[in-house]
Every structure is written in C-alpha cells, then in structure tokens.
Amino acid sequence: MTDSLDFKASEPFTLGVELELELVDRRDGDLTRAATDLLRIAQKRHPKLDIKLEITESMIEVATAVQRDHEGVLADLRALRDAVCEAAELLNVGVCGGGAHPFQSWTERHIAEGARMHYISDLYGYLAKQFTVFGQHVHVGCADSDAAIKLVHGLSRYVPHFIALAASSPFLQGEDTAFDCSRMNTVSSFPLSGRMPFVRDWAEFNAYFEKMRSTGVVNSMKDFYWDIRPKPEFGTVEVRVFDTPLCVERAAALAIYVQCIARLILARPTLDITEDAYLAYTFNRFQACRFGIQGEIVDPITRERRPLDQDIRETVATIRQNVPSAEDEALREIERCIDSGNDATWLRARFAESGTLGMVVAAQTERFARSDDR
C-alpha cells in the first residue's frame, strides 16, 4: 500500500471506450448464462481484443485500445462487436446493447468467477445480482493530475447531456418505468455512487482518499462508483453515466462528444468552480434519467432553467466554433439523437409495434449486429 495515489500522465484527450453488453437467449429474449463460454471462444479467435467478464454470467465487457479520433474508436468498436457476435452465434446466443434488460429476473443471475466478482457479491449481497445493468464508460486522457480534477468538475456540468443522449433503459422487470434511463437508479443503490466530493486539486483528492482508506471503507479507486471519477493508474478521467447504446455508431459518437467538451474545458485558463456548482446536480441528473432529452436543466450559478435539448444543441454549436479537431460525423449523430429521439424512444416504439418485450429484445439484437443502423 502506497502513501498516496500516483497519477500516471497520459496523452491529453486520448480515448478509451468500454461497453457492457447483454447476452440473451435467442428463443425468448431473456438473459442467459453464457459469458464464460463466449469469452473462451472470443479469446481463442481474437486474442488481441480486450474482452472480459463482468459481474454476472449474463454480461460481457469489451474495451477499445487507446484511440485519438472517431475513426479509431468506431473501428475498434466494430471489430469488438463482430468478434463477440461471432462467438455468440456459435453458442446460439444473442448480443445487444441497452442499459437494462426489459424483463429479466435478478434472482436468476449467476455471479461470474473471479476474486473481484465474489468480493462484490459478498459485500453487497443481492445488489450484486441486481447490478446486471449495462453501461458505456468513456476514458479521457489527462496530462497531469490537476487537469484530471479540473476535468471531473467541468464534465459534471454535462452529466445530464450524457445520460439523456445515451438513455436506453425504459423497461425494467417487465414494466415501462416512465424513465428513459432506469439503470442509474440501480447504480444509485450503492453507497459510494453519485458524484465525487468537491476537491480543488490532486493534493486535496489524495488527502480525501487517504481518509477514506484509513476507515477501511475503500481499498482502491475501484470501490468508488461515482458518475465521473479519476483513474490515476490509467492517467484518465472516466465518465460512467451512459447506458450502453443500441449500436456502436452511437457509442463512438458519444465518446467524441465527451472528448470535444473536455477540450473546451481544459482550454480555459481557469475553471472557477465552487461547491455551489453542484447545487442542482441531483435535480439535473434526475431530469435526464426521467425525461431524457425532453428534460430540463438548471444552471446553479445563473439560476436559469431551460430545455435540455436546447442546451445540448448550443453545446454542439460551441464545439463546432471552438474545437478545431471537432469531428462532424460524430456531432451529426448527436444531432440525430436530438431530432429523432434517443434509444429509449426507439425501444418504446418497438414495443408499441410488437406488444411484447421478447420481440423488443429481438429487435435490439438485430440492431446491434448491423453496422450503420440508425
């Protein structure tokens, strides 16, 4: 055990993307216990790809290599998707995106093998199986530790954007939850979830971490389930609020959206943020989960309340004006999401057409496997 957390500097604004994916029975669309078998096949056929187990046997996680741009992220995600779908086909298993399975029962889930998995299960009890929800994580490279703290605080302003654009979990336990993103309610059950405490720099963060570690509440950064957290061992800031999108094209676009906003934030000479910047954080987060893009956002400094879709459109416009490396295809995907609806809207439309959640999952599986599906 070291006395402090050392932040491993990385190339600024590089990206790493992780997707947690659903493994479903093709016969009825329910989750199925297939992760270990799928992983074995995928690793044998594609040993260089980053594919790993998650908390239960009905999930698989894939991760890109470190990338700099939209083209690299999308190429990696497509390669990972194809590898996982190929292995799943041999098992007669389906793979799909989505933040939560529409009708699975958590009592039927099986904890995956691994010391970390069993530690979580022993500590959190039934919450571990209920944690069979599916998210996208985006890592952004930082030149130094203080830049990482600045970026965590700066990105927190945009958490409602990220939640609403990626929302894909309207159904849970066989019911329409009336939320676009129900997944975040499951994550919020964990005691170390929510937002990072307010600290001004890495020295203050280290002091906080040491206090927490001395209590025995945490042993490492993995024990924090914050919406956005620094990852000192990677030299990144990790955004964790996204539901897994239904297609990799949207996942890649969301990663670039984070990257572009990060460039805006770190281009500012200073980031004058106080604890007051978080006054409306929980309300804004709820609005995005509940209403998606149709929600509202409150500026805690000006007290202005405005439509979330308007705020996102203005952010995209600001990116185009101020970020020289902004990638237009990714930004057009963000605008398509605003214009046509997020994945929660798409899932509700599929249910309205078919009347059964099993058919919704079948549509999710088909959409994930197809490239360039909108």
In single-letter form, the type of residue at position 119 comes to: Y
DSSP code string of 318-343: HHHHH-TT--HHHHHHHHHHHHH--H
Q: What is the pLDDT of residue 270?
A: 79
Short-list 58, 45, 68, 52, CA closest to 18: 52
Mean pLDDT of 162-182: 98
Task: State the Cα angle at 262 between 131 and 275, rounded to 5°.
Answer: 75
Report phi then psi at 231, rounded to 5: -125, 85
Mean pLDDT of 197-212: 95
How would residue 372 be classed by pLDDT, with cut points 50, 70 and 90? low
DSSP 104: -
Query: 56-78, pLDDT tens digit by residue?
Result: 999 999 999 999 999 999 999 99
Mean pLDDT of 169-194: 96
Short-list 102, 135, 123, 142, CA closest to 10: 142
Query: 116-140, pLDDT tens digit by residue?
Result: 999 999 989 999 999 999 999 999 9
Q: Is the pLDDT of residue 288 over 50?
A: yes
Short-list 190, 47, 30, 16, CA closest to 96: 30
Q: Is the pLDDT of residue 1 over 50?
A: no
Q: Which residues contact 203 (CB under 8 A, 6 or more apart)?
A: none
> Between 172 and 274, whose confidence is greater?
172
What's the token pair of residue 178? 């009336």
The region that residue 58 occupies, defined by phi over 0 for left and psi between -120 and 50 for alpha, beta otherwise, is alpha
> At what angle are helices 145-156 and 248-267 packed, to 10 degrees?
110
Secondary structure in 3-state letters for 223-261: HCEECEEEECCCCEEEEEEEECCCCHHHHHHHHHHHHHH
Q: Is the pLDDT of residue 269 over 90?
A: no
Query: 295-354, pLDDT tens digit by residue?
Result: 999 998 899 999 999 999 999 999 999 998 889 999 999 999 999 999 999 999 999 999
Mean pLDDT of the chain: 95
Short-list 247, 258, 245, CA closest to 135: 245
Q: What is the pLDDT of residue 374?
A: 47
Rounded to whole angstroms, how far apart are CA atoms 46 and 158? 36
How would residue 2 be classed by pLDDT, with cut points 50, 70 and 90? very low
Q: Is the pLDDT of residue 3 over 70?
A: no
Cβ neighbours around 24 below 10 Å, total:
26
Query: 219-267, pLDDT tens digit by residue?
Result: 889 899 999 999 999 999 999 999 999 999 999 999 999 999 999 999 9
Three-state DSSP state, 176: strand
What's the token pair of residue 339? 């214009």
DSSP code string of 12-57: TT-EEEEEEEEEEETTT--B-S-HHHHHHHHHHH-TTSEEEE-SBT
In single-letter form, the type of residue at position 204 comes to: E
Task: State the Cα angle at 186 between 305 and 192, rounded to 5°.
Answer: 85
How far out from the chain centre does Cα 306 lie? 25
